[in-house]
Amino acid sequence: MKKMEIVIAKNAGFCFGVKRAINLVVKAGEGKKSLYTLGPIIHNPQVVDKLEKQGVGIIYDLHKFKKGRIVVRSHGADLSFFKEAREKGIEIVDATCPFVKSAQNLIKQLSKDNYKVVIVGEKDHPEVKGLISYANTEVEVIQKTNQLKNVFCWKRIGVISQTTQSRENFKIIVSGLLQHTKEIKIYNTICEATQDRQNEAKKIAQRVNLMLIIGGYNSANTNRLARTCKEIQKKTYHIETEKDLETSWFKNVKKVGISTGTSTPQWIIEEVVKKLRRLKL
């Protein structure tokens, strides 16, 4: 029988910011002092488990924290966290992604220049919560057009985006703001990593019989990627590891496509491919 063809997206695996954060954790873990991450380092339970087994703990705030070093994940953290850590003399390893850092700096500058700030994004996302703390002025998080009315009376607006927002939604919100605001400064802070991944996965989904999206079930960008591919290829399955694969999915399938969220490590992709090669169809 002819072997099933497997097409793996070129940009599958960690994005730049996640790779950098994981490398910083691994390097910091070589030191003697105990190491913690502020929340799970990434939205991938298998990687988080692996790090925990290597002795990397997780903390959620500084209230009861006594000693050790803390890694700030790629989403960044609240300014108040850095302040409190400094006051307590706690050593911080800052793994904030440079793209998120740049959005934080732009918010600081907009506040200084007397712009009120609109962040296009999800208000409960950790990156957005961190971004808000950098605004020394009024700030509004907008995800949908029905929230635009909250800022219609603002005269000078600075707009930035959560790094993982879609370009389409950013355009919709910005054009809504343009209809009501005299002065507006727009910074496109969308990270291309997620957009490029979506575009590549969409193309692959068009030419395969089944699409696998690998990544944490708790990862927003993996879920979004799976949803997008499902619109093109009905046989799209979101899995976390090779254990989630079901042989029945692959009956009469000649070509399988694989893409991943930005927090999926290479070793999980390899395990999935290994299992696919072993499937008895």
Task: Kindly list the residues in this chain that would bind ligand SF4 in the complex (CB under 6 A).
Answer: 15-18, 74, 97, 99-100, 163-164, 191, 193-194, 262
Whose CA is closest to 211, among 195, 197, 225, 196?
Answer: 225
Q: How far is the CB of 42 from ligand SF4 (least distance, A)?
A: 9
Residue nearest to ligand SF4 (CB): 17
Q: How far is the CB of 234 from ligand SF4 (least distance, A)?
A: 27
Q: How far is the CB of 191 from ligand SF4 (least distance, A)?
A: 3
Q: How far is the CB of 16 from ligand SF4 (least distance, A)?
A: 4
CA distance 148 to 145: 5
The residues annotated with a catalytic role in the active site are 127
